[in-house]
Amino acid sequence: MEILSWSPTSQGSSITNGTDWKRPYSYLQHAERLLSHDVDDHYRIDCIINLNRAIDHRVKLLAALYRFKKIPVLGKPEKLLDMLGYFGVARPAMLRELSSVRNLLEHHYKAPPPLQRCQELAEFTWYFLKSTDYLSTSVLEDFVLYPSGVKFSEKYWLEVTYGPSSEWVCSIRGRVPADFVGDESTDGWAILASRLEREERLSKDCALNDVLEKRGGHENDVYIVADVLVDEQAYKDITDLYFSVL
């Protein structure tokens, strides 16, 4: 649907409670202290284990906040790390590598990576934590779509309520062109309107021509409040928009 090419802007978020998002940094700092006193293999072994704990703690927090498995995209990966990559939250390749190194150390008694490699993994861990700090402290509840290139518009806008707080059920409201709303589903969308008003009714308390001239709109423009049923690809598009705002 063309409207999905509009530019998304954050509308409202809920602030998470507690300081769980800070905990991974204590593991990271401990790992960095171990590397600064790299006496023997045991220091690097403990370093890798603590880096893995830092990432594992953050991944579990994100899973609790966003409930990725409930996102209604049938084709999404089953494993959590793969889902983070699928929805653009993080690149899971390095996460899997760090986890596999930890498993080698604990279960097969392999030598740890050299110091330089451990330092690279520590830097990646820092980057991963920093890049997901906002996701861990503020959960987006809704966002607004404006025509591309326009940050705010009186003419057209569409507020999308979507995310874990709404159980990943999508609803919309906004002022859109008349051809946005039809009698049948379009491009995988089915709009279940609970309120639908034409521009004439919206403008009944003022001069219609003045309103249209000011907004650059059309008398058949529509104000809509609706629940939305979409197919798998459309849900993926909406979810990508959701995480692109964060």
Cα–Cα distances (Å) from 227 to 146, 161, 182, 191, in that order, read 19, 9, 14, 6
Q: 75 is in which domain, residue-wise?
A: 17-138
pLDDT digits (tens, 9 = 90+) for 173-226: 888 777 666 555 555 555 555 555 554 444 443 333 343 344 455 556 777 787
- CA–CA separation, 83 and 80 (whole Å): 5
Note whether 49 and 155 are same-domain residues. Answer: no
- Asked whether residue 73 carries a pLDDT value surpassing 80, the answer given is yes
- The structure's pTM equals 0.81
191 sits in the region (left: phi over 0; alpha: psi -120 to 50; else beta) called beta
Contact 4, 238 (CB under 8 A): yes
pLDDT digits (tens, 9 = 90+) for 50-67: 999 999 999 999 999 999
**Which of 138, 162, 183 delimits the end of a domain?**
138
Mean pLDDT of 74-88: 87
**Which of 138, 159, 174 delimits the end of a domain?**
138
pLDDT for 208 equals: 36
- Asked whether residue 19 carries a pLDDT value surpassing 70, the answer given is yes
Note whether 40 and 123 are same-domain residues. Answer: yes
pLDDT for 219 equals: 59
Note whether 130 and 151 are same-domain residues. Answer: no
pLDDT for 200 equals: 46
**One-letter-per-residue 3-state SS of 226-245:** EEEEECHHHHHHHHHHHHHH
The residue type found at 245 is V
Note whether 114 and 208 are same-domain residues. Answer: no
Count how many domains the chain has: 2
